[in-house]
Amino acid sequence: MATTVEQKRTTDDHEVAEDDVLNALRRIIDPDLHRDIVQLGFVKHLRVCGGGVAFDIELTTPACPVKAQMESQAREFVGALPGVSQVNVTMTSQVRSHFTEDREYLASVKNVIAVASGKGGVGKSTVAANLALALAKTGAAVGLMDADVYGPSVPIMMGVSERPEVSVDQKILPLENHGLKLMSIGFLADDRAPIIWRGPMVGKLLQQFMSDVAWGDLDYLVMDLPPGTGDAQLTLCQTATLSGAVIVTTPQEVALEDVTRAIRMFEKVNVPVLGIVENMSYYVCSHCGHREEVFLHGGGQRAAETLGVPFLGEIPLDPQICLGGDNGVPIVAGNPESPQTAAFFEIAGRVAASLSTLAMEESQGGGDSRGEPLLRIVS
Ligand code: ADP
The answer, yes or no, to whether any atom of ligand 1 lies below 6 A from the CB of 318, is yes
Q: CATH homologous superfamily for 109-361?
A: P-loop containing nucleotide triphosphate hydrolases (3.40.50.300)
What does DSSP assign to residue 240? S
Residue with more model confidence, 230 or 266: 266
Beta carbons within 8 Å of 21's beta carbon, 6+ residues apart: 46, 48, 53, 55, 78, 81
Q: Whose CA is nearest to atom 15 of ligand 1?
A: 322
Distance of alpha carbon 152 from alpha carbon 20, whole angstroms = 56
The answer, yes or no, to whether any atom of ligand 1 lies below 6 A from the CB of 122, is yes
Domain positions in the chain are 7-93, 109-361
Which CATH fold would you assign to the domain 7-93? GMP Synthetase; Chain A, domain 3 (3.30.300)
Amino acid 375: pLDDT? 36
CA of 249 from ligand 1 middle (Å) equals: 11
Q: Is there a shared CATH topology between the 7-93 domain and the 109-361 domain?
A: no
pLDDT tens digit sequence for 30-79:
998 899 999 999 999 999 998 999 999 999 999 999 999 999 999 999 99
Q: Which atom of ligand 1 is nearest to the CA of 126?
A: 6
Distance of alpha carbon 129 from alpha carbon 327, whole angstroms = 13
The answer, yes or no, to whether any atom of ligand 1 lies below 6 A from the CB of 279, is yes
Q: Which atom of ligand 1 is nearest to the CA of 323?
A: 16
The answer, yes or no, to whether any atom of ligand 1 lies below 6 A from the CB of 315, is yes
User: What is the sign, positive or negative, of the torsion defined by CA atoms of 334, 346, 39, 245?
Assistant: negative
Concatenated DSSP letters for 182-203? EEEHHHH-SS-------HHHHH
pLDDT tens digit sequence for 216-256:
999 999 999 999 988 778 888 888 889 999 999 988 766 77
Strands, E assignment, the chain: 29-30, 35-36, 43-49, 52-59, 86-93, 109-117, 142-146, 175-177, 180-184, 218-224, 244-249, 273-278, 282-284, 291-293, 311-314
Backbone angles phi, psi at 199, to 5 degrees: -45, -55
